[in-house]
Structure 1
Amino acid sequence: MTEQLKVQFTKRIIELQQRISAIHRDFADGRDTDWSEQAGERENEEVLNALESEAKVEIQHLSNAITRMENGSYGICETCGDDIAKPRLQVQPAATNCIKCAE
C-alpha cells in the first residue's frame, strides 16, 4: 500500500512543481504598459502567489509523508504514537496526527 501511495504522492509533487514553473513563466512575461491592465495583472499576481504558496506547502507535506513511509513511521500519530485511522489517511493522506490529537 505504501509503495502505491509513494508513487501517487510523487506524481502529485511533479504536478505541483509543474504548476509552480508555469506560475514563474507567467511572472516572467512582465507587465503591460496600460495602467488599467496593470491593475488586473496585480490581482492575478496575488492569486498566483497564493497558488504557489499552497503548492509549496502541499509539496512539503507530501515529501514529509514519503519520508515517514521510508522510515516506517507513516500512519503513526506524531503526538501520541497511536495508529492514524485508515479513513483519516484516505481523506488526508499526509496526516501526521490521529483525529484525537488533531483536535
Structure 2
Amino acid sequence: MSEQLKSDFTQRIIALQERVNSIHGDFADGRDADWAEQACERENDEVLNALESEAKIEIQQLSNAITRIEDGSYGICAECGDDIAIGRLKVQPSATKCIQCAE
C-alpha cells in the first residue's frame, strides 16, 4: 500500500509541476498592447499567481508525505502519536495530525 501511495503522490506532483510550468509559460507570453486587455491580463495574473502558489504548497506537502512514508511515520499523528484515520488521509493525504490534534 505504501508503494502505491508513493506512486500516487509522485504522479500528483508531476501533474502539479506541469501546471506550474504552464503558468510560467503564460507569464512568458508577454502583454497585449491594448490597455483594456492589459488590465484583464493583470487580473488573470493574480489568479495564476494564486494557482501557482497553491500548486507549490501541495507539491511540498506531498513531498513531505512521501518522506513520512519512507521513514514509516506516515499516518501517525505528529502531535499525539495515534493513528490518523484513513478517512482523513483520503481527504487530506498530507495530514500530519489526527482530527483531534488538528482542531
TM-score after normalising by structure 2:
0.98
Structure 1's unaligned 5+ residue stretches are none
Aligned residue in 1 for 2:79: 79
Cα distance, 1:92 vs structure 2:
1.1
Structure 2's unaligned 5+ residue stretches are none
Aligned residue in 2 for 1:36: 36
SS of residue matched to 2:43:
helix
Could you list the structure 1 runs, at least 4 aligned residues long, displaced by more than 4 angstroms after superposition. Answer: none
Q: What's the % identity of the aligned pairs?
A: 75
Aligned residue in 2 for 1:66: 66
Aligned residue in 1 for 2:19: 19
SS of residue matched to 1:90:
helix
Question: Considering only aligned residues, what root-mean-square deviation do their CA atoms show, in Å?
Answer: 0.5
Cα distance, 1:86 vs structure 2:
1.1
Structure 1 residues 88-103: aligned runs within 5 Å:
88-103=88-103
TM-score after normalising by structure 1:
0.98
Pairs aligned (count)? 103
Cα distance, 1:93 vs structure 2:
1.1
Distance between the aligned counterparts of 2:6 and 2:67, measured in 1? 9
| AA in 2 matched with 1:62 | L
Distance between the aligned counterparts of 2:31 and 2:87, measured in 1? 47
Cα distance, 1:26 vs structure 2:
0.5
SS of residue matched to 1:51:
helix
